[in-house]
Amino acid sequence: MEMNKNTKIIIAVVVILAIVVIVAAVFFLNPTDVTKDAKDMENSELKMFGNINGDGFIDEKDTKIIKGLIDEGKTATEFPLADANQDGKLSQADIDLLNKVIKGESCTIWHMNLHDVDGNGTMDYEKVSTKFPVTSMICTGSSNTFMMLNLAGIFDEVKGASYGSSIDNIFNDTYKNTEKVVKLGTSSQNIDFEDGKGAASEVIKKENVTMVLSDWNRTYLTNEDKFEAAGVDCVRLAAASTDIKVMAHDYYMLGLLFQKQERAGEVVEYLKEVMEKIESAIGKENKAVSAVVSSMTNYYSVGDSDYTAIIKFDGATNPLDKGSWGGTTSIKVMDNLDVFNPDKYKYEYVIHLRAYNAYTGEADVPKIYNDYTKTIAEYWENGYDGQYLVNANMPIPARLAYVASIFYDDIDKSWADEIHQGFVDKFFTKSYNVSEQAFVFAE
Amino acid sequence: MTESFEQLKEQYSKYTLRKILFIIVCITLTVTMFWLSLAVGTRQLSLEESLSLFINHLIGNAPDPDSELWYDDSIVWNFRVPRALFAIISGAGLSVAGAVMQSIMKNPLADPYTTGVSSGALLGASIAIVLGFSLTGGGIDNMGIVVNAIVFAMLPVVAIVAMGPFFRQSPASLILAGVVVSFAFSSMSSLLLVTTDSSTLARVYHWQVGTLSEVSWDAVLPVFIVELVGICILFPLANKINLMALDDKDARSMGLDSEKLRMICLVTLSVMAAIIICYVGVIGFVGLVIPHIVRIILGSDNKYLIPASAAFGAAFLLTCDVISRSLDVNASIPVGVVTSFIGAPLLLLLIIKEKKNIW
């Protein structure tokens, strides 16, 4: 029996159609390939286990992807970020935990602390667990930490802080108000847990404190184990980082822990916008600026620190990188007079990053400038020319913008003021006109 | 003659009783201060509360981690008890080491650190804190600092023992050798410290002054074992150490090998001091002053001086620690500051009051 031509054509069309339908079904009807949405910790904006899509929030998108991974029989070894409860397997328990986080119910979350774990001066990731949500905390109070908390909108939750005298008076009503926030010592880096009258154990019990916030550097909160032993979780962030990825994690983490995700989202969005603006203004190509940083009187910062990162971000080279300084992050210039030898170390700028009361205009800025610069001016070939005082009590991008305006003639200070003013208008509790105050000063 | 013998016996009994009473009073004071120390600190607990938490934990009734009392129990048991025990043990150890050092060196200015253990330990700790290098290979965690400190603390002792044959181990030469070694190690520490930043410097300084604020249970057992063994070695030698008050030649004529005994005591008390330093830093004054105070009250017989120094040293350091924790200031006061602040006028007062030459 022979098929006629039409029958052959019909069969061919049917076969082709069938193939197309099968291929389409594979593409469109098959469950979503969830693995492509899974991110690793390095690329996650919020470095928390369970944040499988790598954005800044824990939400249904994460639970959906993790459910897909469970359905596909994937393992925690293949997708470690999906293992929200860190029990070594992917299961409904991970989704249940994330659902609790989404609803703001009490649970324990697993995330990364930014911490110099091995003591080599660089930031590492340290896996830790933290009780969620946080309603009461204490912190080591550096200027940068207070500014970060200020931008994140975290005020009443801070029950205690240790801080020095250089903290800006704009925090007089918040973190420096001792009726609301117990002062836990005068160090900006460490808090005693249980020692003299100025330690933390009393306020922890009285205020049900469950978290202590500190910075990534190894000199911060050296007695972390004591807090952990007493059931107080230590969260470490990098309040002075110039890396937008790190900044994003800082704010998303705070937003999550304190249930202020919306505010965190706004801050990160603005940070990204501003950082992009700064980077594009600097346009690092064809720039040949060399500078050093001083964060303590008659000391220069060396190596990789939050201070040297400022000038490097702004496209400057640090000639002191060539030297060998024995693992420290700051050197006393009088003990290292070579730093003034132009044949060895040549630089155009000395940026003095110091905290003083700029917002309220209370500081005697010319005097501060003179105190910090006079010794260096005696030894450095450029004298005072090229020495700038930059306030360290302000959002990091504003700091970067002011330093860029020092380095480059085509960047005006008013541009930096505008960036700075943006932070003040959007996130500060009080209004300040930054262009009227001396956030940068030189004679 | 019988009457005078009886009088002598009575006098000796009184003499002995006085010493035993002194030791009992010191032990009672130590126990009382231990109780007080459980209630003193940042977290406000009453004497009854702290004692109840301590006893309940001791008999195995520690509160459940979810209970309301868990936090306070943790404060008492994990912070205050080890700290108080460490103060007792190290106070006793440093005082005994000081008493023996002064006796074998025949020098009132000698203390447990005379051989340079403190300078060696400081260098070890500075290397760990400033350079981030420790012999454990694990950076500058607390164990890294402890291991560095103890190894470097023993270097001066080894150096002095090795140099012993060259200067016949006379007390004056040993002290001079200790001073020289101390200076050498201190200069190396200074070299490290002048180049570091202020926060690291503050950390080293805190350690240098001596503080009990970092003490945990991990430190108590090793220190207890070393101090106990040290006291067990030194106490039976008390009579021989008494003989060392004589000239070395006279002592030798009585069958005592002064040089050998001095070296045994030196190494023992250096180890006793080193283990304390490596955990809490250089707690000054205790090893120097406590034996002097005890000598003024009880005399120089090492048979009583050693246990009495141990008892008084324990009570003294614990009391100083309680005071350091009680001061209402916005910073922790290192116990080393309080020991000097209280010990110096106390010794001066006793010297003036007693008006006697104890050496």
As a whole number, mean pLDDT of residues B136-153 equals 73
Mutate to test the interface with A, among B38, B70, B199 (most CBs of A within 10 A): B199
Q: What is the ipTM of this complex?
A: 0.75
Contacts of A198 in chain B (CB under 8 A): 42, 329-332
Say if residue B139's pLDDT is above 60: no
Contact B174, B157 (CB under 8 A): no
pLDDT value for A379: 96
Rounded to the nearest angstrom, the minimum Cα separation between A332 and chain B is 6
The larger pLDDT score, comparing residue B83 to residue A20, is at: B83
**B195, A205: Cβ pair inside 8 Å?**
no
Phi-psi region of B355 (alpha: psi -120 to 50; beta: other; left: phi over 0): left
Asked if residue B141 has pLDDT above 80, the reply is no
Closest to A195 (Cβ–Cβ): which among B198, B200, B332?
B332
Check the CA dihedral B320-B292-B120-B202 and report its sign: positive
> Which of A194, A223, A326 has the CB atom closest to B43's CB atom?
A194
Q: Which amino acid is at B60?
A: G
Check A194 against B79: CB less than 8 A apart: yes
Question: Minimal Cα–Cα distance from B156 to chain A, Å?
Answer: 25
Interchain proximity A204–B71, CB inside 8 Å: yes
pLDDT band (50, 70, 90) for residue B16 = confident
pLDDT of residue A256: 98
Chain-chain contact of A195 with B325 (C-beta, under 8 angstroms) = yes
Least confidently predicted of A19-28, A90-99, B227-236, B259-268: A19-28
> Which residue of A194, A227, A320 is the best one to mutate when testing the B interface, meaning the one whose CB has the most B CBs within 10 A?
A194
pLDDT at B354: 65
What is the tens place of the pLDDT at every residue in A310-349? 999 999 999 999 888 866 778 889 888 999 999 999 999 9
Predicted confidence band of residue B79 (pLDDT cuts 50, 70, 90):
very high
Q: Could you count the other beta carbons within 10 Å of the beta carbon of residue B201?
A: 18
Contact, A201 vs A193, CB < 8 A? yes
Q: A222: closest CA among A230, A214, A211? A: A214
What pLDDT shows up at residue A284?
61
Is there a contact between B42 and A326 if contact means CB atoms under 8 Å apart?
Answer: no
* B87 or B284, which is more confident: B87
pLDDT the model gives residue A86 = 96
Contacts B332 to A, Cβ<8 Å: 185, 192, 195-196, 198-199
Chain A residues in contact with B132 (beta carbon < 8 A):
119-121, 218, 327
> Which residue ranges form the domains of chain B, and what is each CATH number?
86-354 (1.10.3470.10)
pLDDT band with cut points at 50, 70 and 90 for residue B284 = confident
Give the pLDDT confidence score for residue A19 in this predicted structure: 79
Asked whether the beta carbons of residue B74 and residue A327 sit closer than 8 angstroms, the reply is no
Alpha-carbon distance of B145 to B278, in angstroms, equals: 7
Chain A residue closest in CA terms to B134:
A119
Residue in B with minimal Cα distance to A335 = B195
Percent pLDDT > 90 in chain A is 74
Q: What is the pLDDT of residue A286?
A: 55
Backbone angles phi, psi at A321, to 5 degrees: -60, -25
Mean pLDDT for the stretch of residues B139-156:
78
pTM for the complete prediction? 0.81
The percent of residues above 90 in pLDDT, for chain B, comes to 38
Least confidently predicted of A128-142, B56-70, B238-252 = B238-252
Mean pLDDT lowest among A257-261, B24-28, B121-125: B121-125
Select from B262, B268, B228, B5 the least CA-distant residue to B112: B268
pLDDT at residue A166, as a whole number: 84
User: What confidence tens digit (pLDDT) does each residue in B183-215 have?
Assistant: 998 899 888 887 777 777 877 887 788 889 888
